[in-house]
Amino acid sequence: VPHTLVVRYPARPRASRIVVARGALAGLGRFVRTLTSATTVALVSDARVLALHGTAARRALARAGVRAVPLIVPRGERAKQPRVLARLWDRMAAARLARADAVVALGGGAIGDVAGFAAATWLRGVPWIGVPTTVLAQVDSSVGGKTGIDLAAGKNLVGAFHQPLGVLADPDTLATLPGRQRRAGLAEVVKAGMIADAALFRSLERDAGALARGDAGALERAIVRAIRAKTRIVQRDERERDGGPRTALNFGHTLGHALEAAHGYRRLLHGEAVAIGMRIAARLSVREAGLPGRELERLEGLLDRLALPRRMPPTSLARLAQAMAHDKKRAGRAVRWVLTPRVGHASVPRLISSRVVRSALLDAGARP
Amino acid sequence: VPHTLVVRYPARPRASRIVVARGALAGLGRFVRTLTSATTVALVSDARVLALHGTAARRALARAGVRAVPLIVPRGERAKQPRVLARLWDRMAAARLARADAVVALGGGAIGDVAGFAAATWLRGVPWIGVPTTVLAQVDSSVGGKTGIDLAAGKNLVGAFHQPLGVLADPDTLATLPGRQRRAGLAEVVKAGMIADAALFRSLERDAGALARGDAGALERAIVRAIRAKTRIVQRDERERDGGPRTALNFGHTLGHALEAAHGYRRLLHGEAVAIGMRIAARLSVREAGLPGRELERLEGLLDRLALPRRMPPTSLARLAQAMAHDKKRAGRAVRWVLTPRVGHASVPRLISSRVVRSALLDAGARP
């Protein structure tokens, strides 16, 4: 006689508290104390960010009586390696980080990814607090709970959905950011407007000059609005189900990821690759999704004013196709493109004939 | 002006389907097809288990049209190393395991732990199916969703709560198990009766002879009942909150874990260490929790009839104290003992004076 039991586990609702405010970094200690009962935090950062903001962060934590153990990881994507993760685990053990303690990720998107994943897996999950210090991390990677690391076989193949308990985004930390990196981060803000918030898009058009200059007030307004837009999407589709609302966030990313991969993640910043990817996705949208030509021009004009690249660096069509196919095989499906029928909206990802894609890529500077 | 957003993520209820049936292994393919839309599964196992049950498992999967990619890990606890996990990830990439695919863990508790953790983290989480082939894994590790690996600093320091979508426990697979390992697994069944199910405890007393011999019918009855008991506990406290119902499962484990650690996880099987730990926890319960002396005798008698050890191998008191303290520091708290006021019940973990513990350990064979 077979015995069958169905064990149902009660749902655990979760929430993230996101604070955007100039000067907020000075309140990090109180923020951690309000959200957690941590007495120790693992302060994951890289040497450069720690030199810029480490003292402020540690003082703020000390004032609230929280012990900070700094764990330094390599800069950029090199932080997201299995061996860096394993070293973080060993150092969390050495720091005796307990279940009630927390991880604080101080830095850009890569730091949030690896620190959030370390938090997801240490003692089977401890809370984490994001303190993003780049535009990209403030508007994008710190919302939605995607954490993870890369393998030799591809980026972000390993990870967890682990929502930060809190995110403290201080636009003042962006003042030390190189202009190129700040502008690249704005590509994700443009994307949020393009796929989900026409009013945000219009405000970016109004503020483009101030944003390109790095005006703190304009940045703060844009960041808050972009976070709200992304938040509305990920709340409806936390796990990015096939064809779900969250897939819209891949607008510009089908080609963007392929461009980054084709150039070994060195030549183009993520936001720059996404800007090129959005331009091409918008051109395909005119042809395949009814995007009016004047809206394509609005997108191109906005990206131009933010000094985001118009054409791709020399890249062979074959290399791009290979990179897109690699992505495809990972998902076990053909390449699908997120298109937009008009500013503020996205359509469900769809197949586009390779002839049409090829011609759009050639137009954008790919080499035959 | 600070901007604060609270992002609430909808709760995601989860369920595990557990099937216990002799001969169930032959239905593995249908089970996977019913629960998932996998076309490929990573079949994680060790060489010995694969030699015994691999052909049956692979045939069952092939009959249902599911491709099985065998991923072999070292035997026993050595499977639970960060570098074994990293190799699993690389091989899952090579196998192009997609989001809709699944991991099947075929083997004992260590295999479920590492395979379940690989599933929790591959592509930020894919489903996994447990096919436990030891008594311990069938009654204990496949229920409750604890997955993970060990670090040099301690066991199970890294992991995730990731409930298996299904568990297929086939008592016929226990026939090939060495008697010592089968009996050690029964220690966790005794524990389930002792802390949560007096009727299970009585049925174990009736069936002790048959269980010690490895009678398949008696094993099946005991396993089903032990799973039900554990299930009731973990449903109420999935994440083992401090002092929550799940902590009762640590009955016998405070000392059990310390004994295993003191002997380098070689000399004693987990269940043997837990049996010694339960005897001592029960003696402390007589003194500190009002357990009647005749109930202590029932526990000792049952463990004796299952040929589970009465005394610890030569172990210095200092080494045991050190191992228990290590456990303590990890949790950031003093050592607490789960005691029992009577068969079928557990009390909240509590502090016991070190003088009393010391004298109980000396009585059980620890060396001063």
Q: Which of A1, A9, A148 sits opposite B163 (nearest CB)?
A: A9
Determine the 3-state secondary structure of B43 from DSSP.
strand
- How far is residue B207's CA from residue B305's CA, in Å, rounded to a whole number? 10
B270 belongs to the catalytic site: yes
User: Distances from the Cα of B265 to the Cαs of A128, B27, B77, B259, in angstroms?
Assistant: 33, 35, 8, 8
- Work out the burial of residue A75: count CB atoms within 10 Å of its CB; fewer than 13 is exposed, 13-18 middle, 19 or more buried: middle
- Residue B312 · residue A80 · CB < 8 Å: no
Three-state DSSP string of chain A: CCEEEEEEECCCCEEEEEEECCCHHHHHHHHHHHHCCCCEEEEEECHHHHHHHHHHHHHHHHHCCCEEEEEECCCHHHHHCHHHHHHHHHHHHHCCCCCCCEEEEEECHHHHHHHHHHHHHECCCCCEEEEECCHHHHHHHCCCCEEEEEECCEEEEEEEECCCCEEEECHHHHHHCCHHHHHHHHHHHHHHHHHHCHHHHHHHHHHHHHHHHCCHHHHHHHHHHHHHHHHHHHHHCCCCCCCCHHHHHHCCHHHHHHHHHHCCCCCCCHHHHHHHHHHHHHHHHHHHCCCCHHHHHHHHHHHHHCCCCCCCCCCEHHHHHHHHHHHHHHHCCCCCECCCCCCCCCCCCECCCHHHHHHHHHHCCCEC
Is the pLDDT at B334 greater than 80? The verdict is: no
Q: What is the pLDDT of residues B195-250, one digit of tens each?
A: 999 999 999 999 999 999 999 999 999 999 999 999 999 999 888 888 889 999 99
Check CB contact of A244 with chain B, cutoff 8 Å: no
Active-site residue identified among A53, A191, A246, A283:
A246
A257: annotated active-site residue? yes
Q: Is A188 a catalytic residue?
A: yes
Phi first, then psi: give them for residue B186, nearest 5 degrees: -65, -20
Q: How many helices (H) and strands (E) does chain B have?
A: 14, 9
Amino acid identity of B109? G
pLDDT for the residue numbered B2: 79
Active-site residue (options: A146, A183, A221, A225): A146
B224 reaches A (C-beta below 8 A):
yes
pLDDT at A95 over 90: yes
Taking an 8 Å cut-off on Cβ atoms, the answer to whether A18 and B7 are in contact is: yes
φ/ψ of A158, rounded to 5, equals: -125, 135
In this predicted structure, what is the pLDDT of residue B327? Answer: 66
B243 touches chain A (CB under 8 A): no
Angle of helix A179-196 relative to helix A198-213, nearest 10 degrees? 170
How does strand B40-45 pair with strand B102-107? parallel
Please indicate if any CB of chain A lies within 8 Å of the CB of B141.
Answer: no
Please say if B300 is a catalytic residue. no
CB B130 within 8 A of CB B142: yes
pLDDT over threshold 50, residue A308: yes
Residue B96 to residue A152, Cβ atoms within 8 A: no
Q: What is the predicted pLDDT for the residue at A240?
A: 87
How many Cβ contacts (< 8 angstroms) between chains A and B?
204
Local structure of B106: helix, strand or coil:
strand
Residues in A touching B114 (Cβ below 8 Å): none
For residue range B38-79, list pLDDT tens digits in order.
999 999 999 999 999 999 999 999 999 999 999 999 999 999
A216 inside 8 A of chain B by CB: no
| Partner residue opposite A19 with nearest CB, options B2, B123, B238 | B2
Chain A closest-CA separation from residue B130 CA (Å): 14
pLDDT tens track for B268-320? 999 999 999 999 999 999 999 999 999 999 999 999 999 999 999 999 999 99
Instruction: State which residue of chain B sits closest to A171, comparing Cα positions.
Output: B2
DSSP state of B313: P
| A residues 298-327 closer than 8 Å to B (CB) | none
Q: Give B231's contacts in chain A (Cβ within 8 Å).
A: 5, 7
Chain A residues within 8 A of B8 when measuring between CB atoms:
13-15, 235
| Closest chain A C-alpha to B170 CA, distance in angstroms | 10
CB atoms within 10 A of CB B61: 23
Tell whether the model's pLDDT for residue A176 goes beyond 50. Answer: yes
For B109-146, write each residue's pLDDT tens digit. Answer: 999 999 999 999 999 999 999 999 999 999 987 789 99
Mean of the per-residue pLDDT values for chain A? 93
Structure tokens at B7: 């992002």
Closest chain A C-alpha to B54 CA, distance in angstroms? 22
User: For all residues of chain B together, what is the average pLDDT?
Assistant: 93
Pairing type for strands B146-151 and B154-161 reads antiparallel
Q: Does B212 touch chain A (CB under 8 A)?
A: no
Q: A334: pLDDT confidence band, cut at 50, 70 and 90?
A: low
DSSP B312: P
| pLDDT for residue B333 is more than 70 | no
Please tell me the distance in Å from B306's CA to the nearest CA on chain A. Answer: 25
| Greatest CA separation for chain B | 74
Residues 6+ apart with CB under 8 A from A57: A25, A28, A43, A45, A68, A104, A106, A131
Q: Which of A265, A263, A281, A235 is nearest to A319 (CA)?
A: A263
Per-residue pLDDT, A291: 97
Are the beta carbons of A147 and A116 closer than 8 angstroms?
yes
Which residues 6+ apart lie within 8 Å of B200 measured at CB? B189, B192, B193, B222, B225, B226, B229
CA distance B211 to B306: 7
A232 interfacial to chain B (CB closer than 8 Å):
no
Task: Round to whole Å and give the CA distance between A51 and A45.
Answer: 10
pLDDT reading at A243 higher than 90? no
- Using 50, 70 and 90 to split pLDDT, how confident is the model at A329? very low
The secondary structure of B52-71 as a DSSP string is IIIHHHHHHHHHTT-EEEEE
* ipTM of the complex model: 0.93
- With an 8 Å Cβ cutoff, are B331 and A99 in contact? yes
Average pLDDT over residues B248-275: 92
Kindly state the percentage of chain B with pLDDT values over 90. 83
**CA nearest A5 in B: which residue?**
B18
Q: Is A345 assigned a catalytic role?
A: no
**Which residues have CB under 8 Å from B321's CB, separation 6+?**
B354
Over residues A29-60, the pLDDT tens digits come to 999 999 999 999 999 999 999 999 999 999 99
Q: What is the pLDDT of residue A50?
A: 98
CA proximity to B23, closest of B133, B166, B214, B172: B172
Q: Do A18 and B5 touch (CB under 8 A)?
A: yes
Active site residue B297: no
Q: Which of B294, B256, B274, B288 is nearest to B356 (CA)?
A: B288
To the nearest whole Å, the CA of B140 is away from the closest chain A CA by 14
| B86: contact with A, CB 8 A cutoff | yes
Question: How many residues in total does chain A contain?
Answer: 368
Q: How far is CA B250 from the centre of its chain?
A: 11
Residues B7, A224: C-beta atoms closer than 8 Å: no
Query: Would you list the DSSP string of B160-184?
Result: EE---SEEEE-GGGGGGS-HHHHHH
The shortest C-alpha distance from A286 to chain B (Å) reads 32
pLDDT for position A124: 96
Catalytic residue among A225, A250, A272, A279: A250
Which pair of structure tokens corresponds to residue A215?
């005006």
- The pLDDT of residue B209: 96
How many residues does the structure list for chain B? 368
The residues in A 165-204 lying below 8 A from B, measured between CB atoms, are none
The average pLDDT across B321-333 equals 66
Active site (annotated) includes residue B230? yes
pLDDT value at residue A201:
98
Give yes or no for B11 touching A (CB within 8 A).
Answer: yes
Residue of higher predicted confidence among A353 and A102: A102
pTM for the model? 0.94
The fraction of chain A above a pLDDT of 90, given in percent, is 83
**Residue A212 pLDDT:** 94
For chain A, say whether B89 makes contact (Cβ under 8 Å). Answer: yes
Residues A306 and A354: beta-carbon distance below 8 Å? no
Out of A53, A162, A182, A188, pick the active-site residue: A188
Residues of B in contact with A15 (CB under 8 A): 6-9
User: Token pair for residue B233?
Assistant: 């506990």
CB contact under 8 A, A2 and B14: no
The single residue listed with the structure tokens 């984490």 is A128
How would residue B329 be classed by pLDDT, with cut points 50, 70 and 90?
very low
